[in-house]
Amino acid sequence: MKRLLLLLSLLFILTTTCIIAQEQEEEEELLPPKRSKVNKLGGAGGFTPSWLFLDVDPINQFLKNANAAPLDDRAMMLYGGQGYGYVMLVENLRIGGMGLSGTRKSKALDPNSNTRRDIEYNVGYGGVTIEYTFPVVPRLDVVAGVTLGGGGVGIKMTKNQLDTKIWNNLWTEYGSNQPTNEYSRQLEGTFFVYQPSINVEYALLRWIGFRVGVSYVGMSGGNWKLDNNYDVINVPSDVSGKGFMLNTGIFVGTFLF
């Protein structure tokens, strides 16, 4: 009798253990597999159009005093690109390079003297990018970083008479010692550029992604030249290409998610 009770007890324990194990296996099958952490690898490059909210008030004061048309205060469109690659020694850290440039123009016509004055205001810069990626969800990342490099501002001033241009008269005027009202001058300022930024990046596919974000373009240490030959002094420090910027971009490369 004791042997029968012992055998029944062992059979009950074995059966219960098998049932519990089977239930655990079924529960594990219903649960989604745990997503392993994947570090960012590879790199990408792409087209990065941006909008620079440039403060044009400082230069506009000089343009008005010179009978030239002021620059429009709308955001200046900058075109360029960026490339980067992830550094394997530091998780999710990437290093690369970028460059952007844009132009804003104005023109004014003086009907009394039949004189046209044109201004071309250029902003361009480039440098090394150091960025860190914070994965949020698959396909979506937040990227914070800084660009360090150099750039400058170019101001081209052109003035001419709107009369008929005749071939022989042009050569006569060129050889004359008399001063002329028609000329073109180029001012160029070079700066150290720093640009902290934060962007949101979304990988549409494993080889193409998009970016949108904000940054600030800072410029310091301006050195100005006239016609690439003469030093220019007493240039106001607020005449530069600094300002807040809206970043966008489309990249082709390697995107893990």
Q: What phi and psi, each to the nearest 5 degrees, are found at residue 63?
A: -65, -40
Query: Is residue 135 assigned to a domain?
Result: yes
The dihedral region occupied by 30, where left means phi > 0, alpha psi between -120 and 50, and beta the remainder, is: alpha
The string of DSSP letters for 30-70 reads: HSPPPPPP----SEEEEE--EEEEE--HHHHHHHHHTTPPP
Asked if the structure places residue 30 within a domain, the reply is no
Residue 70 within any structural domain of the chain = yes
Q: Per the domain annotation, does 4 fall within a domain?
A: no
Tell the burial category of 118 from Cβ atoms under 10 Å away from its Cβ (0-12, 13-18, 19+).
middle
Strand partners, 159: 117, 183
CB 196 within 8 A of CB 143: no
236 part of a folded domain: yes
pTM (2 decimals)?
Answer: 0.79
Q: How many domains does the chain have?
A: 1
Residue 5 confidence (pLDDT): 41
Measuring CA to CA, which residue among 232, 60, 215, 209 is closest to residue 125?
A: 215
Q: 46 is in which domain, residue-wise?
A: 38-253
Do the domain assignments include residue 8? Answer: no
* Six token digits for residue 18: 């098998």
What pLDDT is recorded for position 180? Answer: 75
Other Cβ atoms less than 10 A from the Cβ of 209: the count is 23
Give the whole-angstrom CA distance, residue 73 versus residue 60: 10
Q: Is 54 a member of any domain?
A: yes
The set of residues, in sequence order, having a beta carbon less than 8 Å from that of 163 and lying 6+ positions away, is 114
Q: Is the residue at 136 inside a domain?
A: yes
Write down the pLDDT at residue 52. 98
CATH at 108: 2.40.160.20
H-helix or E-strand spanning residue 171: helix 167-175
pLDDT, tens digit only, all 257 positions of the chain: 444 444 444 444 444 444 444 555 555 444 444 444 567 889 999 999 999 999 999 999 999 999 999 999 999 999 999 999 999 889 999 999 999 999 999 999 988 888 899 999 999 999 999 999 999 999 999 999 999 999 999 999 999 888 778 898 888 888 888 777 788 999 999 999 999 999 999 999 999 999 999 999 999 988 999 999 999 999 998 999 999 999 999 999 998 87
